[in-house]
Amino acid sequence: MKHLTLFIVFFTFSILSFSQESSKNKEIYFSIPFNINNSSSPGIDFKSQIGNKTYLRYSLFNITGSFSANDKYDFNSYYIGASIGFGIERRNEINKNISLFYGMGIGAEYSFYVTETIRDDQIDSYTRSLYSGLLPLNLGLIFNVSEKLSISSEFMPYFSIRYEDHKHSLFPENNTTKTTYHVNISDFFSRVSLIYKF
């Protein structure tokens, strides 16, 4: 936790120093990511130019959900998840139509999963709550389609700290909690986005 706090302080000072850069053109980008890997979901990002080659990135909306039921086996389940985040992005122009970008950020995720099964006329409910803190990096390319429209593809490895809470209504002795650490570098070019420039 101490290292995470130090990172957040460093990250905040980095934003303040980058924001001192002067730029005549202030631009805001709105993107809808289409994730290639099945473990992720579409979301919405906003990007605001704060310097000549520097952007602030806000991931303000990423919500998923699902529901399933099986009357034959008296079973149903549902899932909901949400995430937010922000970061700094630097861009280097390769030519007038292609730019390389890279950056770092910080974010949070929450998910809630429930299954209910009828056992001997009793409902056995299992719930799993997952809280995650994320430190993502991003590296990718932006292809300009027109003055207003672009396409990007990016690789987003990340480090995460996860706290899990598992509860069973009929078998409380099986309730557990745990904290785990993950490094994900497998989702190469994990996200493709359509970007509209206002």
CA distance 167 to 171: 8
> Under a CB-based contact definition with an 8 Å cutoff, are residues 157 and 136 in contact?
yes
Domains, in order of start, for the chain: 2-197 (2.40.160.20)
Written as six digits, the tokens of 55 are 């952007």
DSSP 8-state code for residue 120: T
Written as six digits, the tokens of 17 are 């120093």
- Predicted local distance difference test score (pLDDT) of residue 23: 46
Tell me the chain's radius of gyration from C-alpha atoms. 21
Give buried/exposed letters for 98-107 (b at 16+ CB in 10 A, else e): ebebebbbbb
Model confidence over 77-108: pLDDT tens digits? 888 888 888 899 999 999 989 999 999 999 99
Residue numbers in the chain where pLDDT is lower than 70: 1-42, 61, 71-73, 119-120, 185-189
- Predicted local distance difference test score (pLDDT) of residue 6: 47
pLDDT, averaged across the chain: 78
> Under a CB-based contact definition with an 8 Å cutoff, are residues 169 and 21 in contact?
no
Written as six digits, the tokens of 8 are 């957040």
- Predicted local distance difference test score (pLDDT) of residue 58: 83
Written as six digits, the tokens of 195 are 């970007």
- Predicted local distance difference test score (pLDDT) of residue 79: 86
